[in-house]
Structure 1
Amino acid sequence: MKPALLLHNDVGSAMETAPAGFLRRLWWVLLLCTLVVPAHAGEISIAPDPIPATGTDLWHYGAYLDVGYVVNPNFPENHLWRNRATAARHNEFAPNMALAYVRKDATESSRWGMELGVQGGYDSERFAFLQGEREVGGADTLRHIHRANVSYLAPVGKGLTITAGLFNSLIGYESLYAKDNVNYTRSWIADNTPYMMFGVNAKYPVTDKLTVAGFIVNGYYHLSHPNDQPSYGGQWAYKATPQLTLTQTVYGGPDQTNTALQFWRFYANHIVEWKGENLTFAASYDIGTENIADRPGNPRAFVMGGNVVARWHVTGPWALAVRPEFYWDRNGRWTGSEQFVKAVTSTIEYRIPYKWTNTTLRLEHRWDESTGAGGGFFRRGEIQPGVLSLTPNQHLVLLGILWTFDSP
């Protein structure tokens, strides 16, 4: 299903009256709130309702380290994976992510929540921008914020959860952090949808099976700044059976300098997940569109992508995962290149738990093919001084080492 595109023109006119710089100022106010929030604060996500707890059980803290070595037989001189933001450094030792966090859950007995974390590494450099978009002031500092939010579990019906600040994105199945995914490298739709959002969201469990949410955010990517207008979206998640969950998230907002309604970006994310004791299957399908204001004729851009993730816990510490996928960026609006990509990723995982820590080793092979007017991956050699040559195919073999520490 696609998000509705027929909106009244008065909406666009009303949005253009919003105070300039409002969301930029709101960023700093909410960040300050997370630093001074009282000891009753905690974090609520779009996940299931929090389990009642008291005292120190509500507080959590932890750390995470992700290092990897990606072998790329194309051996590009710049060591880069073209048009990608994560695991993008090849043929060198890469500290891709390090973070530390503190979080407090919200419950009926302690309704305020908070989460604050810091991060660094190669994967924190370009995860919050689309190609060519203007950045917010201080983006090089703000990218080091893992999350920074306050939340409140309001005593309304079954419990209305309101979260404000920098929170986990409601769009997408995969995380910025490899530890939360079944593969080490992320899919193309994951790398080109927001991993985080900045603004306000509200979640409400309508029934035991159906949860709905709405959000107002500062834009598609929280560190991009094409204008001062907010964007909007909603989500529903339906647990059809104890194993099967269906989720749809829609987004709409101005992501260009021209904020007229005709140039708004609309995006829809669809997820079907079946989760058993040892097997997990998930399918994702995304579609997005917008008219491009600064090109002659204002052409309509389209992006579309999908993948299927399958994970099998074989035995003990061993697990296997595979993810076939495709991604079509017709106008190069999302990746920066007009291309159609096909890819297959296969992963072997071995996990070593020790007290409060887990060390996960992942050996992975990945094949990508990029075709189209702007398709291709970097390879050794130049077609002219300063311009690297391209090849349509890329094979990657990598070892990822993931270490996590989480309080009980």
Structure 2
Amino acid sequence: MKALIALPVGLLTAASALAQTTGAPDSAAVAAPTPSPLTVYGFADGYYGYDLTGKSQTRPGFLYSHHRANEFALNNAVVGLRYDDERVRGAVGLHAGTYVEANYAAEPQVLKHVYEAYAGFRPFAKAWLDLGIFGSHIGFESALSKDNWTLTRSLMAENSPYYESGARLSYEADSKLTLTGLVLNGWQNLRDNNRAKALGWQIQWKPTAKLLINSSAFYGNEQPQDSARRRRYFHDFYVSYAATDKLSLAGVFDVGKQEQAARGTKADTWHTAAAFVRYKLAAKWSATARYEYYYADRGVIIRSIMPTPTDANFRVGGGSLNLDYAPTSNLLFRVEGRVLRSRDALFPDDAGQPAQTYGNLTSSIALSF
């Protein structure tokens, strides 16, 4: 009897041991699913802007982002697809909003709502060759407000390219250094306005995890086909530094020169600078202070790409203070106060008369995915 009982118990014990060695594989041995090379992304930035001076519903003409005043508006809404399988990559994105209305006013209607559209591949290891429409290689600030230290963009950022069309070859020399060369339709042109192409380059060096140094340049003739050539030279330089876990600093300096139409005449030049100090107040709160300055001979670039010798110089400086609250990783609520002051009377006051000072308040809720 004992032998009859022991037999099934032994069989069960053996079966259990066999199941432990030949059953379902251990969870640690299961390969993780391969990430899809295709991703969907989106961004929406709703805002309310209030001008402390003047009664216009649009802000000064050299401000393109969040440029509506005294109304609720949508600055930029973007939705798109990106593909990257480490050998081939590309993206297609569409956008709409008051930023598009203001900053793409000179572009063909069929292209205004293209945020990015490019295709690329690796011609050799650590390099990418892209062709199409993509973000600019110039500047510390992005077209998406969530990526910037301040809600509104600085004068230098508003008046240098935010998008480009052409060919881009980038090479990662090592983990700290990236080199990029570009052939472009022009200075923030989706469609070429003449038969000349522009050239650009970018060097990004990150010697430590806390320090980033950038040098970007542009060279080209940006006059319409039926106008005299005026070659443009431009250089953008910035440094950002995470001093501590809470304190970050950034400095930006741009300088440019454009020939005048008359041969032998002194070129029009402009230079602009900005300094940023960002401090993390708490886990979800941060604040940023900005100082900025912009000077342009005869208002070149910021007021006209074809200034005349009698046009007035442009001198504006100012500052802003930004308060950010991020309740989640993909939502950002921001409030900013900003004051600009000009040597000349550039800004209309409440009575519609020229004034030297301009101020505004802007608030925004931005969602990204």
Q: TM-score range by the shorter chain?
A: 0.7 to 0.9
Q: Letter of the 2:357 partner, please give it.
A: N
Give the direction of change, closer, same or farther, for the CA distance of 1:260–1:93 in structure 2 (3 Å limit): closer
Give the direction of change, closer, same or farther, for the CA distance of 1:243–1:167 in structure 2 (3 Å limit): same
Q: Give the corresponding residue for 1:123.
A: 99
Structure-1-length-normalised TM-score: 0.75
Which residue of the other structure, out of 319, 322, 330, is the alignment partner of 1:344? Answer: 319
Asked if residue 391 in structure 1 is aligned to residue 363 in structure 2, the reply is: no
1:311 is displaced (CA, Å) by: 1.5
Q: Give the corresponding residue for 2:79.
A: 100
Deviations, residues 76-116 of structure 1 (Å, cap 9, x unaligned):
23443342211111111121111111112241xxx111111
Match of 1:179, SS state, is: helix
1:174 is displaced (CA, Å) by: 0.1
Matched-pair contact (CA < 8 Å) for 1:81–1:90: no
Q: Letter of the 1:102 partner, please give it.
A: L
Once residues 340 and 193 of structure 2 are traced to their aligned partners in structure 1, the CA distance between those partners, rounded to angstroms, is: 31
Q: Letter of the 2:315 partner, please give it.
A: F
Which residue of the other structure, out of 79, 103, 119, is the alignment partner of 1:150? Answer: 119
Matched-pair contact (CA < 8 Å) for 1:81–1:89: no
1:258 is displaced (CA, Å) by: 6.6
Which residue of the other structure, out of 273, 279, 300, is the alignment partner of 2:247? Answer: 279
Q: Which has the larger radius of gyration?
A: 2
Matched-pair contact (CA < 8 Å) for 2:62–2:158: no
Q: Give the corresponding residue for 1:361.
A: 333
Which residue of the other structure, out of 175, 179, 194, is the alignment partner of 2:146? Answer: 179
Q: Letter of the 1:334 partner, please give it.
A: I
Q: Give the corresponding residue for 2:26.
A: none
Q: Give the corresponding residue for 1:71.
A: 50
Deviations, residues 143-190 of structure 1 (Å, cap 9, x unaligned):
21111011212333xx11111111111000101111111111000110
Relative contact order higher in (CA < 8 Å, ≥ 6 apart):
1
Q: Letter of the 1:147 partner, please give it.
A: E
Which residue of the other structure, out of 157, 162, 185, is the alignment partner of 1:218? Answer: 185
Q: Letter of the 1:313 partner, please give it.
A: K
Once residues 319 and 59 of structure 2 are traced to their aligned partners in structure 1, the CA distance between those partners, rounded to angstroms, is: 19
Give the direction of change, closer, same or farther, for the CA distance of 1:225–1:390 in structure 2 (3 Å limit): farther
Once residues 260 and 350 of structure 2 are traced to their aligned partners in structure 1, the CA distance between those partners, rounded to angstroms, is: 34
Once residues 65 and 319 of structure 1 are traced to their aligned partners in structure 2, the CA distance between those partners, rounded to angstroms, is: 21
Once residues 348 and 232 of structure 2 are traced to their aligned partners in structure 1, the CA distance between those partners, rounded to angstroms, is: 30
Q: Letter of the 1:338 partner, please give it.
A: N
Structure 2: gaps (5+ residues)? 1-31, 304-311
Structure 1: gaps (5+ residues)? 1-52, 130-134, 383-388
Asked if residue 371 in structure 1 is aligned to residue 333 in structure 2, the reply is: no
Deviations, residues 29-48 of structure 1 (Å, cap 9, x unaligned):
xxxxxxxxxxxxxxxxxxxx
Alignment map for 1:105-116 (pairs within 5 Å) = 105-107=84-86, 111-116=87-92
Q: Give the corresponding residue for 2:170.
A: 203
Match of 2:110, SS state, is: helix
Match of 2:183, SS state, is: strand
Match of 1:380, SS state, is: coil
Count of residue correspondences: 329
1:208 is displaced (CA, Å) by: 2.8
Give the direction of change, closer, same or farther, for the CA distance of 1:403–1:75 in structure 2 (3 Å limit): same
Match of 1:206, SS state, is: strand
1:216 is displaced (CA, Å) by: 0.4
Q: Give the corresponding residue for 1:7.
A: none
Q: Letter of the 1:219 partner, please give it.
A: G
Deviations, residues 287-345 of structure 1 (Å, cap 9, x unaligned):
0011122x697552111101112212222211111111101122212111731111111
Match of 2:157, SS state, is: helix
Alignment map for 1:188-199 (pairs within 5 Å) = 188-199=155-166
Once residues 196 and 238 of structure 2 are traced to their aligned partners in structure 1, the CA distance between those partners, rounded to angstroms, is: 28
Match of 1:182, SS state, is: coil
1:70 is displaced (CA, Å) by: 1.4
Judge which range, 253-262 or 62-71, deviates more.
253-262
Matched-pair contact (CA < 8 Å) for 1:62–1:100: yes
Once residues 272 and 257 of structure 2 are traced to their aligned partners in structure 1, the CA distance between those partners, rounded to angstroms, is: 12
1:58 is displaced (CA, Å) by: 2.7
Q: Give the corresponding residue for 2:41.
A: 62
Q: Letter of the 2:122 partner, please give it.
A: L
Match of 2:298, SS state, is: coil
Once residues 246 and 77 of structure 1 are traced to their aligned partners in structure 2, the CA distance between those partners, rounded to angstroms, is: 39
Alignment map for 1:234-273 (pairs within 5 Å) = 234-257=201-224, 263-273=230-240
Structure-2-length-normalised TM-score: 0.83
Matched-pair contact (CA < 8 Å) for 2:253–2:272: yes
Runs (4+) off by over 6 Å:
258-262
The percentage of aligned residue pairs carrying the same residue is: 23
Matched-pair contact (CA < 8 Å) for 1:128–1:221: no
1:359 is displaced (CA, Å) by: 2.1
Alignment map for 1:5-24 (pairs within 5 Å) = none
